[in-house]
Structure 1
Amino acid sequence: MSNKAPWNSKELTVGQLAERSGVAVSALHFYEAKGLIRSRRTAGNQRRYSRDTLRRVAFVRLAQRIGIPLKTIADALAELPEERTPTRDDWARLSASWRQQLDDRIEQLVRLRDDLTDCIGCGCLSLDRCALANAHDRLGDEGPGARRMDTQIAACGGEAVCS
């Protein structure tokens, strides 16, 4: 049996929103807890979402798919007047502001791909050719894992690539 909402319904249940958006109910609850979407409660304490929440969920999913962190998405949605649903113009403005982050990430991934055969982030399996050589394992005292990448990220304020 389908949970499909009538085409002219103004509100959707969480199940209808999940079915129509392709997003799990648990993810919708998570989005709501993070302030990305909103619902009202019925007298029976059931969630009801306005139909335009579909566009908001699509906006969140697309932004996530291109690698934008949920915090950044939430900040962008909070900038919209009266918490309205993003329009095409909103998407154009926000995606332009995210372009540099994406370009930086692409650059980092290209470098990672190109160095992949010789380096695993200084764990290090290629000491004889490593450009980041760690003589006498001096970084071992700083803890387990890829220390140089962690150091670079910390120096860039939590970003993998400094802008």
Structure 2
Amino acid sequence: MQNRQQGLTIGDLADRTGLAVSAIRFYETHGIVRPLRNTGGHRRYGRSDLRRLSFAMIAQRLGFPLAEIAAHLAALPDERAPDKSDWEAIATGFRQRIAERIASLQALSDKLDGCIGCGCLSLDRCALYNVNDKAAQRGAGPRWLMGDRSEDV
């Protein structure tokens, strides 16, 4: 097992992940990776940081904010490489969020061709579905896509 004090340089990590050195430093400021410093003060990364960065890149592509990604990754151990059970614990939380997103996207897909209760009154059909902007009584935004039903207003 590689000693983290002698671990990967930031250049090594950039080569292995395809990220720019500046992007790795950016991820570091958000707590995605937490390198150690060697006696010369240089950053040294563990092999587990490759997975942390890869996971963060994928989660970002799925639309998850960095703060949420960092919060999940904070649960991973620093003293050792994460094992399967560590990753499964993180996956459980992400599965729930992904299921919520799928449900939201399905609702958007189902209602995309009609009024979505946004309160804009810009479509001729809104006079049928959202007379006098009743959806706005529930708050700002696309109320029906956010879970409100048209009969609730």
TM-score by length of 2: 0.68
2:9 — aligned with what? Answer: 13
Answer 1 or 2: higher relative contact order, Cα 8 Å, separation at least 6: 2
For structure 1, which runs of at least 5 residues remain unmatched after alignment? 1-9, 154-159
1:110 — aligned with what? Answer: 106
2:35 — aligned with what? Answer: 39
Q: Any idea what SS the aligned residue of 1:81 has?
A: coil
- 2:32 and 2:63 map into 1 onto residues whose CA distance is 16
- 1:79 and 1:148 map into 2 onto residues whose CA distance is 34
2:50 — aligned with what? Answer: 54
Cα shift at 1:20: 0.9
Whether the 8 Å contact between 1:80 and 1:86 is mirrored in structure 2 is yes
For structure 2, which runs of at least 5 residues remain unmatched after alignment? 1-5, 149-153
Letter of the 1:148 counterpart: G
Match of 2:120 among 104, 118, 123: 123
Cα shift at 1:40: 3.0
Distance 1:80 1:136, change over 3 A: closer
Whether the 8 Å contact between 2:119 and 2:135 is mirrored in structure 1 is no
- 2:135 and 2:69 map into 1 onto residues whose CA distance is 40
- 1:152 and 1:106 map into 2 onto residues whose CA distance is 16
Match of 1:135 among 132, 135, 141: 132
Whether the 8 Å contact between 1:13 and 1:49 is mirrored in structure 2 is yes
CA deviation profile, 1:62-119 (whole Å, cap 9, x unmatched): 3333343322222222223345443222222221222222111111111112222223
Whether the 8 Å contact between 1:119 and 1:125 is mirrored in structure 2 is no
CA RMSD of aligned residues (A): 3.4
Q: Percent identity?
A: 38
